[in-house]
Structure 1
């Protein structure tokens, strides 16, 4: 083991032993454009934890757990969300630190529509390097760029967390934007139960109402379920479905793809 890595692990063990908050870790591994900001902030409001991301940066890139950031928050309860695939190094840190993630996904076709809207104003991932070229494209081509350059990341995200569940590598709570939005109090109550957070229906309802009326803390765009397929061509839908189809043993129906193993 690299000496720096060993030192960080020992430092985390020491700070966790000294902290009364070391088990207060809400962690949402999520699709971008899946309602994760809303969910993180509602859970922070209920729990009283800080909203703090435990990665190096939070903008325009894939995120991985940064051990020093986790150590830095050892004496706080935190509600965090990150666009993070289940890479080996992330799973290792989560196992070592006892982090049990909520994994949040969304209908992939609705994600594409939402990403197209988002990237016109604030490009993310590879599209951030295209400058004004993306904005000047017709809408159909913008959707093609999203599908070609960003959708593979989403497919890999889903597949990676599927393998974590399959191998029982971590205890995870898997949910979707659609499940959260269809019954917010019920899903949030279940997530609070997953984290052993004591709360009440009244407190959950109050937190939801508070975050929903704050546009910055809810970060909702259009949020209409089903609009993705309405704006995508049959060819574009088929291309996304074909990407998922390479993983022949994985059921992608939770994100709207009809391919099943």
Structure 2
């Protein structure tokens, strides 16, 4: 850590050195929260390096590096999706194309989260960061997203039957309990229906992308994200070669598992509902 520092930051670094020498974890966590809340990202990075030496986790370090290395002239991008809908691939392709830094979180409770328990802030809206999450479209969830400084989001949706099949296969369940499968389908349908309602409220602040369309043209999906956020028109750099087993539209259709999950009244009309 170098450069001209205010007396306050000089004192902070002295305390950091003391905490490291004493291996005082409680003090380190307290200093992490202070540094995070006061935009002392270089000090936060140093604290995370200390934590990394004390444990096997490096999640906080990744966050600090993202905050330090981000391009503040870029907006921040948020992708909301169900699991197994291509959100990781889309995020990585946007990173490759424009140089965003990944801000790791899975739901709105983790906006501003680092490895330190209870550490929350609104850093995602600083700019130059991209995150993906599986948040539900509840009022409290949307409030947290808006409080983080995010005004626009990408909603990446997939047929809830197909996303359920893909999730079960990832878990190695070719013969899942029927109740478990139908519970997942109902959850996915509810997630999709709630976001449909919120999309009408968000209007032009929400870009809807369909998994099925993105699989056919990932570069086009990346271009859509760039246009939505007003980014420079660059040639999309998609995230490596697509795996046949990961992005094959025919993979989940017409097989026994798919047909078994489709049975039952909870799935009636889902194909028509999905095309909103």
Is the structural similarity TM-score above 0.5?
yes
Residue 178 in structure 1 maps to residue 212 in structure 2? yes
TM-score (norm 2): 0.61
The answer for the alignment partner of 2:89 in structure 1 is 38
Specify which of 234, 251, 265 is matched with residue 227 of structure 1: 251
Question: Secondary structure at 1:212's aligned position in 2?
Answer: coil
In 2, Cα distance between the equivalents of 1:32 and 1:46? Answer: 23
Going from structure 1 to structure 2, the CA distance change for 1:92 and 1:117 (only over 3 Å counts) comes to: same
Unmatched 5+ stretches in structure 2: 1-36, 39-69, 114-120
Deviations 1:167-216 (A, max 9, x none): 3477101111111111222221111000111132xx31xx11xx224xxx
**Structure with more contact order per residue of length (Cα contacts < 8 Å, sep ≥ 6):** 1
How many residues in Structure 1 have an aligned counterpart in Structure 2?
A: 201
Q: For 1:105-254, list aligned pairs within 5 A.
A: 105-120=157-172, 139-140=174-175, 142=176, 144-168=178-202, 171-200=205-234, 203-204=235-236, 207-208=237-238, 211-213=239-241, 221-231=245-255, 232=257, 234=259, 236-239=261-264, 242-243=266-267, 252-254=273-275
In 2, Cα distance between the equivalents of 1:227 and 1:166? Answer: 32
Report which of the two structures shows the higher radius of gyration computed on alpha carbons: 2
TM-score (norm 1): 0.65
| 1:79 positional shift | 1.3
Going from structure 1 to structure 2, the CA distance change for 1:181 and 1:48 (only over 3 Å counts) comes to: same
Unmatched 5+ stretches in structure 1: 1-10, 13-18, 121-134, 255-259
- Contact 2:162–2:252 (8 Å) recurs in 1: yes
- Contact 2:178–2:261 (8 Å) recurs in 1: yes
| 1:149 positional shift | 3.0
- Segment drifting more, 70-79 vs 160-169: 70-79
Question: Secondary structure at 1:174's aligned position in 2?
Answer: strand
Deviations 1:94-123 (A, max 9, x none): 334233111111122322321122112xxx
- Contact 1:49–1:78 (8 Å) recurs in 2: yes
Residue 51 in structure 1 maps to residue 82 in structure 2? no
In 2, Cα distance between the equivalents of 1:90 and 1:23? Answer: 24
| 1:34 positional shift | 0.8
- Contact 2:80–2:132 (8 Å) recurs in 1: yes
Residue 66 in structure 1 maps to residue 110 in structure 2? yes
